[in-house]
Amino acid sequence: MTEIPEHLLKRAQEARERAAKAGDGAEPAAEPEAEAPTSETSAAASKIPAHLLERSKAARDTAGGGGTAVVTAEAPTAPLPAGAAPTPTGPGGHTQRLLTVVKSGSIQDVKSKPVDKVHVWPHLLIVEFVAALAVTAFTLVFSVFVNAPLLELANPNETPNPSKAPWYFLGLQELLTMFHPMVAGVTIPGMALFVLILAPYIDKNPNTSPEKRKFAVSLMTIHLMFWAVLVMIGSFFRGPGQNFVLPWQEGLFFEL
C-alpha cells in the first residue's frame, strides 16, 4: 500500500471531523459548503499535490476501497475561514516537491583512471643516467681484463688488401662500393635519418602494444634489416679489392 505523509493524514483527519460536525448541525440544502467538492476544487482547497491524489486513488482501486490511509488521503478539507492562516503543505512549511534522486555515476565519473604519462625529469633522466653509469663501469672493468683485438703495427710499405673499416662502419663502406660518394655518404644516410626524425610525427598512435604499432615496427625493422644486410655483405662477402667473394670458397677476409 502506498505510504501517505503524516502531515497529510493529520489534515485529512481534521477535515473529516469538521465535515462530520457540519453534517450533524445542518441540512445539506442549508449548508452548500458541506457538499462534496470535485477533485479539482478539493486539490485547490487542500493544497494536496495532484500526484499524491492520483497515487492514493490508484492504491484505493487496487485495494478495493478497504484501506483507511487511502480513503483519508483523498478526503478534502473544508474551506479555510476568513483571516485564517493556511496550513503548511509540508514538514517545516516547505512547499518544494521532491525531485528524482540521480546516482552520481550517471552524471560524473568517479572512477580513477590509470595515468600512463610521467615527467621526463626526474623519472626518465634518472633511469638513463643510472644506465649510462652502469654501462661505463662495465666497459671499464671489461677493458681491464680483456685486451682489444688489435693487429700488428701498420707498415706504410704494405697496405692490407682488402682494407676494411670496423664492422659498425662496414655498411657505409658497402654503400661506397655501389654509389657515388655524395650519394652513399650524404644523401642516403641523410634521408634515412630524416625519415626516422619524422616518424613520431607521422605515427601518432599512443598505443604501446607492438601488434598495434604496425607502422613504427615496420619502419624500424626495414631500417635495421637494411643496415644489417650491408654489414654482413661487407664483412663476409668482400675479398681482395673489395670484390664479391663467397666465404665458403675463397675464405674469410674479415678480422675484428
pLDDT > 90 fraction of the chain, expressed in percent and rounded: 23
pLDDT at 30: 43
CB count, 10 Å around CB of 11?
22
Q: Coil, helix or strand for 244? A: strand
Domain parsing of the chain, residue ranges: 1-79, 117-148, 155-250
pLDDT at 118: 79
- Distance between CA atoms of 151 and 168, rounded to whole angstroms? 18
Contact in structure between 184 and 172 (CB atoms under 8 Å): yes
Residue 41's Cβ-side half-sphere holds a number of Cα atoms within 13 Å equal to 9
In this structure, which long-range contacts are made by residues 113-118, counting pairs with CB atoms below 8 Å and at least 24 apart in sequence? 116/208
pLDDT at 15: 87
Q: In the block, which residue shows the cell 607492438?
A: 210
3-state SS, 22-47, equals: HHHHCCCCCCHHHCCCCHHHHHHHHC
Contact in structure between 164 and 234 (CB atoms under 8 Å): yes
Report pLDDT digits (tens) over 145-181: 988 877 788 888 888 888 888 888 999 999 998 899 9
The DSSP 8-state label assigned to residue 108 in this structure reads: S
Residues of the chain under the 50 pLDDT cut:
27-37, 39, 42-45, 65-76
Task: For the full predicted model, state whether its pTM sits above 0.75.
Answer: no
Q: What is the DSSP track for 144-204?
A: HHS-----SPP-TT---SS----GGGHHHHHHHTTS-HHIIIIIHHHHHHHHHHHHHHH--
- Distance between CA atoms of 196 and 190, rounded to whole angstroms? 10
**What angle (nearest 5°) sits at the alpha carbon of residue 18, between those of residues 64 and 53?**
40
pLDDT at 149: 77
| CB contact burial 76-98 (16+ within 10 A = b; e otherwise) | bbbeeeeeeeeeebeeeeeeeee
* Set of cell numbers at residue 4: 501517505
Look up the CATH architecture of domain 155-250.
Orthogonal Bundle (1.10)
Residue 244's DSSP bridge partners are 238
pLDDT at 95: 59
pLDDT at 75: 45
